[in-house]
A and B are shown apart, each in its own frame.
Chain A
Amino acid sequence: MTEEIIIAGFGGQGVLSMGKILAYSGAMQGKEVSWMPSYGPEMRGGTANVSVIISDERISSPIISQFDTAIILNQQSLDKFEHSVKPGGLLIYDPNGITKAPTRKDINVYKIAATEKSAEMGMAKVFNMMVLGGFLKIKPVVTEQYIEEGLKHSLPERHHKLIPTNLDAVAKGKELIEGVNVL
Chain B
Amino acid sequence: MFNEEIVKPENLVYKKTSVLTDAVMHYCPGCPHGTIHRIIAEVIDEMGIQDKAIGVAPVGCSVLAYNYFNVDFVEAAHGRAPALASAIQRLHPNQHTFTYQGDGDLASIGAGEVIHACNRGENVVIFFVNNAIYGMTGGQMAPTTLVGMKTATTPYGRRVDLNGWPLQITELVAQLPGTDFVTRQSASTPADVRKAKAAVRKAFENQAAKKGTQFIEFVSTCNSGWKMTPVAANEWMRKNMFPKYVPGDIKVDGEIVREYNPSDSKIVRDIEPVK
Indicate yes or no for A touching B, C-beta below 8 A.
no
Q: Which residues of A contact B (CB under 8 A)?
A: none
